[in-house]
Chains A and B, each alone.
Chain A
Amino acid sequence: GEDVEQSLFLSVREGDSSVINCTYTDSSSTYLYWYKQEPGAGLQLLTYIFSNMDMKQDQRLTVLLNKKDKHLSLRIADTQTGDSAIYFCAEKANAGKSTFGDGTTLTVKP
């Protein structure tokens, strides 16, 4: 079945860039997503990328996709303390459910 893997923790200093990595196994994945979860809350969709793209930029967020290696990354520029949260990578084929990774806890130190 589908599998999505992420490293569990990342710690950066305020103002630095954060890079969160993700690998997936399903070659039929059509869309790949990044979600953010703050404590006690549900997940919030941050951004997505279509599988025929290799990069997408949205303000401080840059998503890179290496389809050959099935590797996805999320770069947050000028990381702020408010960016501290759990970040989930997810994939979806054309129809049906999304499969989520276990989440990367980002800690931003002042």
Chain B
Amino acid sequence: NAGVMQNPRHLVRRRGQEARLRCSPMKGHSHVYWYRQLPEEGLKFMVYLQKENIIDESGMPKERFSAEFPKEGPSILRIQQVVRGDSAAYFCASSPSAGQGNYGYTFGSGTRLTVV
């Protein structure tokens, strides 16, 4: 069981470029969550997705950020026209269900985005 796979582990982008972060959830998990961790700060919720649906995007910035979780393939977090303030660690987590039950998250190792 490979767990939650995120790639790339490290990503360097110049200001104005696009960043694409990928997340494959744990086998059997259909719920994906993206969190951002800024230096010296905690985890901030960004978006929660199920296959082909965005369930809660209340933490996503209104512009430049988008997320998808297609029927086939990994979940993608896309940041257009990156700025230095986007530099952070982006973590993906998955769970088998978001409903009843104690389902804690299984986290990936994160993608560390550096904007230069």
Contacts and interface: CB of A to CB of B under 8 A. Distances in A.
B55 interface: yes
Contacts, number: 59
B55 A96 contact: yes
A33 B91 contact: no
A99 B110 contact: no
B102 to A, nearest CB: 5
Given A41-B109, A42-B109, A100-B35, A33 B42 contact: no
Given A33-B104, A48-B102, 16 more contacts: A31-B104, A40-B109, A41-B110, A42-B93, A42-B108, A43-B105, A48-B104, A50-B102, A88-B42, A95-B99, A95-B100, A96-B48, A97-B33, A97-B48, A98-B105, A100-B45
Interface of B: 4, 33, 35, 41-43, 45, 48, 55-56, 59, 91, 93, 98-100, 102, 104-110
